[in-house]
A and B are shown apart, each in its own frame.
Chain A
Amino acid sequence: MTAVGLPVLVRLHLISRRVPATVIALVACGAVLRGALEWHWVKGSGNAALQFPTLFEAGTAAAIAVTTYGPFGEPERATGRWLPWLRLGTALLLTGVAIAVLAAGAAAANLPGGTLALARNVAGATGIGLLAAAVVGGALAWIGPMTYVVVAEVALSQSWTSPWTWPARPPHDRGAAICAAAVFVAGITITAVRGCRDSLSD
């Protein structure tokens, strides 16, 4: 792979995964989060105030998860040795963009839990989405984060203490951070190595 070829390969890979549209979707989530915090769409304090941010964190994770779907299907796996690195880089890039965009949207808006909790929650939900992509395929990977967000909302409303429901835990909770990080690492590793599940129709 030449120095000229690598950027072209990266650009084509990002376009094939609809990464530009994903970034637009992430920016939209950040803007809506800003509006929700600015105009207090959801009334309440404590865990009740975390319901909206949690929803949009899962939404960004779902958007990242569906980018694992490739239009080429199984034949893409025979193209070369760069594919796992491209998958890894795409997932890391989009996760970083999601955290940055949501943090920017919540800047100076008194985001409950702060940026640390936001980063933890986005990483954990993204890991769930990537794991779902490995099981059910990229196009259906949204099922993972969207199912988890219902679980998380229940945990928030009932003040659960399990570290696996990390959105309901304080920002500096070590157990929640470990669980979210573990899920994120597992998801990103599996999708980088194996990619998302390809259906027969693909």
Chain B
Amino acid sequence: MSVLIMPATAPLLRIELRRNAMLWVLPVAIGLFYYHAYRHVMVGPALWNERAMSLQNDTLLDFVAPVTGAAAWTGWRESRRAVTEMLTSTARPRWARHLATWAASTCWAMAGYVACVGVVYAITARQVAWGGPLWWPAVVGAAGIPVLSAFGFAAGVLFPSRFTTPLVVVIAFAALLVSDHPGGNSRAAWALSPLVAGSAAVGADPNVAIFYHYLPDLPIAQVMFLAGLTMVLLGAIGLPATSGGWRLRTGAAALAAAGLAAAGTAVGLAGTARLDAHGMTVIPALHDAASDQPIRYTPACGGSPVQICLHPLYAADLAVVISAVEPVLSQVAGLPGAPARLSQALPEFVPGQGSAPPANPSEFALTGVPGAADDAGALAANAAFTIGRDVLGVTQGPPASGSPAQQAVLSALLTGSPSSQLSGLASQLVPPGSPAAAAARRFAALPAAARHRWLVQHIAALRDGGVTLAQLP
């Protein structure tokens, strides 16, 4: 396009922006967004990963009907008004007019999308306790808007009919619905759908963008695919003989070919995808090794004599965790096998099996919603039980192995804990009314300092099974 044509295109674009049908359906799109995506996202916890990925999954479903329908309606405008022949005599080739009209429709649709997503991001920024915005899910959603408008517009231009608009809306909605259920294979081309925020095999991992980076591999491939689709659709509009001269139609064909190449490349890249240790999609050709490093943070620590350290996002849970673990850990502090510090860590992701607790005994997994005291207390209590059991040499059951004295001591350590979970475990370890239960009661009645002193002196014999119930104080 020559420089002389460009100034004339701007007024055409301005006219299209002022008189575009997309402007009239934006309230419908915003209303659907509020009814569905906004309310669904806001019910969840104030975490960037949760909200951004849920937003990516929901927003386009709200925008598909208004955007595709308005674009299709605009696409067959010339046929509907019977002005095609009249406009053919104007200075602008038909394809240039169509591109300006499509651009105007897309601008308004994108403005609505940005406004809706921006509101959610702004509210989340005020609520979230740690971390920064996750932009890639929003970018992928934004890349989906031009595809929807291009699909509707191209259908309206190429198949002008009163039935085109409802049918393209149904087709676009159906395509998104089908792509939203891609199955468990992260390599499937369905992963390129703009609704897919992560592998269906693991779902929305609660730790993404908290302990490790949100990998941009899949979003990059998705944006490439969506951009390619847009180019193909826009190029297809310019192929008919009425679109312009042979040079312009050759350009349209080249645009469509380039789009096809981009989309095909994205499909090929998606076929090489695999899951990493955290269940995130890795595409080797797009992967940056720096993204594999864990996110650095300054932990929130507290407690004594065993220091408890949590991710700053879970700082609100620190008091609950300390109260759950300290009664047990303070009694085994300094004993062989007892950690000097207990840190929050990630669960290990096992493909096909889900998550497993960290192997390091000085680490425990605390996931889920930050600030959910019950969950944090329960997880921490479980970690304290595991440490106490391992220090005393009681192996995991059922049935739990160990001498009666070992089980009585473990029961005593758990007795009196403010955690109802640990108190319940204490009563399950020894049968009620048994000599072991009596010994456990005696040991639990001792002052904490006395219990600790006795354990320091007798831990080796206790672990070897050389201590009897009668020998317990």
CB within 8 Å of B: which residues of A?
18, 21-22, 25, 28-29, 32, 36, 41-44, 51-52, 55-56, 58-59, 62-63, 65-67, 69, 138-140, 142-143, 145-147, 149-151, 153-154, 201
Contact = CB atoms under 8 A, between A and B. Distances in A.
Main secondary structure of the interface of B (DSSP, over half): helix
22 contacts: A21-B161, A21-B163, A36-B174, A41-B178, A42-B178, A42-B181, A43-B181, A51-B177, A55-B173, A56-B174, A59-B166, A59-B167, A63-B167, A65-B166, A69-B162, A140-B73, A146-B170, A147-B28, A147-B66, A149-B65, A150-B61, A154-B36
Given A59-B167, A140-B73, A147-B28, A201 B81 contact: yes
Interface of B: 25, 28, 32, 35-36, 61-62, 65-66, 69, 73, 80-81, 161-163, 165-167, 169-170, 173-174, 177-178, 181, 183
Contacts, number: 84
Given A58-B170, A63-B167, A147-B66, 11 more contacts: A18-B163, A51-B177, A56-B170, A59-B166, A63-B163, A139-B80, A142-B165, A146-B65, A147-B32, A149-B65, A151-B35
Contact of A44 (B36, B165, B181): B181
A65 B77 CA distance: 19
A98 to B, nearest CB: 13
A145 B166 CA distance: 9
A71 to B, nearest CB: 10
A66 B163 contact: yes
A122 to B, nearest CB: 14
A57 to B, nearest CB: 10
A142 B228 CA distance: 29
Main secondary structure of the interface of A (DSSP, over half): helix
Scoring B65, B162, B165, B181 by chain A CB atoms within 10 A of each residue's CB, the highest score goes to: B162
Scoring A65, A66, A146 by chain B CB atoms within 10 A of each residue's CB, the highest score goes to: A146
Given A52-B177, A55-B174, A25 B167 contact: yes
Contacts of B61: 150, 153
A62 B168 CA distance: 11
Contacts of A145: 166
A152 to B, nearest CB: 11
A150 B62 contact: yes
Given A143-B25, A149-B65, A66 B174 contact: no
A36 B178 CA distance: 10
Scoring B62, B163, B178 by chain A CB atoms within 10 A of each residue's CB, the highest score goes to: B163
Contacts of B165: 66, 142
A62 B162 contact: no
A67 B28 CA distance: 22
Contacts of A29: 170
Contacts of A44: 181
Contact of B163 (A22, A140, A150): A22
B359 to A, nearest CB: 35
Contacts of B183: 43
B32 A150 contact: yes
Pairs A-B, 6 closest by C-beta atoms: A62-B166, A59-B170, A142-B166, A146-B65, A154-B36, A43-B181
